[in-house]
Amino acid sequence: MKEFYILINSLAQGGAERVASELSWYVEEKGYTPIFLLTDGYAVEYDIAPSSRVEVLPLCALSRTGLFLVSVFVQAIYIRYSIRGGVNLISFLHRANIVNCLSGAWSRRNVVVSERSLFSKSYSGFKRLILKLLLKFCYSRADSIVAISELVKLELVDNLAVRSEKICVLNNPVNYSQFNFKGACRELGSDDAVRFCCVGRMVKSKRHFLVIKLFHKLSIFFPQAELHLCGDGPERESLELLARQLGVENRCYFYGKVEDVSSVLNHCDVFLFFSEFESFGNVATEALACGLPVIYSENLLSFDEIFRGSTVLSYSAKQELEDADVREMVDYLVRFDRALYCFERLAQLERFDRVSIFSKYLDRVVA
């Protein structure tokens, strides 16, 4: 079998890590042996294809220290001289992308990287300066760049001066085997115990505090409503305190880290999300796969890209949470049309089909 290399920081929890692990199953189906090259040396926390091999690169202990540049150059040299010829290789995340581009210099290998972040939102200070210089240099030498969204493509062009024609936009696929539609998206009335939910790491940028404040206002119209929160992080304690201060602690359920998110989504009715920024929005496609209408903050331009302006599948809300805006959200929920939602949902989900997206990944790498 031919080898297919996936260069990534780690296989710990994360969106890129999930896609990389799922990609291993697809390339195995196509007759390749997946080989993971890890720059950070973290544990494997996702299921990977049975034939996969995992190799931790040299100096992985330095990858998150002030000597990370040393580790990057050593790892690039290691790959350059240990993996010879026109091998198939794709990288995910910035450190791995830099290693990929540097190791591909002066070789016959097709250099393909996957860019999944909004650079302008991800870094600040000296680190931003260094990484911007490195990424501009490296991406200018990449043969192809896979961007997770049109928004990320725009960032690559504007912030890193990447030529538009070398960028291919491929959204994250939806794993239908994990996120199945099991009869959710029911009509909602004011007397119902509407189950709202939110998924995400409990960090400041995810702005769960806005979700809890919104839930408090919505519960005036839906007195039996519940809020189910999946995720953990440094903000959890302050969020639990906020729920107590607003008097909704008995109807806010904090699950912490959840392995099977679909088990929660499939028992809820409406998805709420008010993050400060998202480069794509896996949670939106997962909610869509489970049949949940999504209420999201208007600043999330990548969500607009996912829902394409649909006022049936989603509702774009103002962040200020004014009473008049909340009443409009309530009207959206009360007028919810299940049949029309299901029709539009199927049409949208076709864009995130696993086989279609991963076949395009393979085309870029093997080209």
Of the pLDDT bands very low, low, confident and very high (cuts 50, 70, 90), residue 189 is: low
Instruction: Express each pLDDT in 203-250 by its tens digit.
Output: 999 999 999 999 999 999 999 999 999 999 999 999 999 999 999 999
Helices 354-366 & 15-29 angle (0-180, nearest 10): 80
Residue 347: CB atoms within 10 Å = 11
Mean pLDDT of all residues in 320-343: 90
Q: What does each C-alpha distance from 345 to 129, 232, 307 come to in angstroms?
A: 42, 29, 9
β pairing state of 112-115 and 88-92: parallel
Mean pLDDT over the full length of the chain: 89
pLDDT, greater one: 61 or 189? 61
Helices 125-139 & 94-103 angle (0-180, nearest 10): 40
DSSP per position, 230-281: EB-STTHHHHHHHHHHTT-GGGEEEEES-S-THHHHTT-SEEEE--S--SS-
Residue 177's pLDDT is 65
| Assessment of whether the complete model's pTM goes beyond 0.75 | yes
3-state helix, strand, coil in the chain (%, to 5): 45, 15, 40
Is pLDDT above 60 for 190? no
Instruction: Express each pLDDT in 14-70 by its tens digit.
Output: 889 989 999 999 999 999 999 999 999 877 888 999 999 999 999 998 888 888 889
List all residues 6 or more positions away from 286 whose beta carbon is below 8 Å from its beta carbon: 174, 179, 199, 261, 262, 265
Q: Two tokens at 242? A: 């906020």
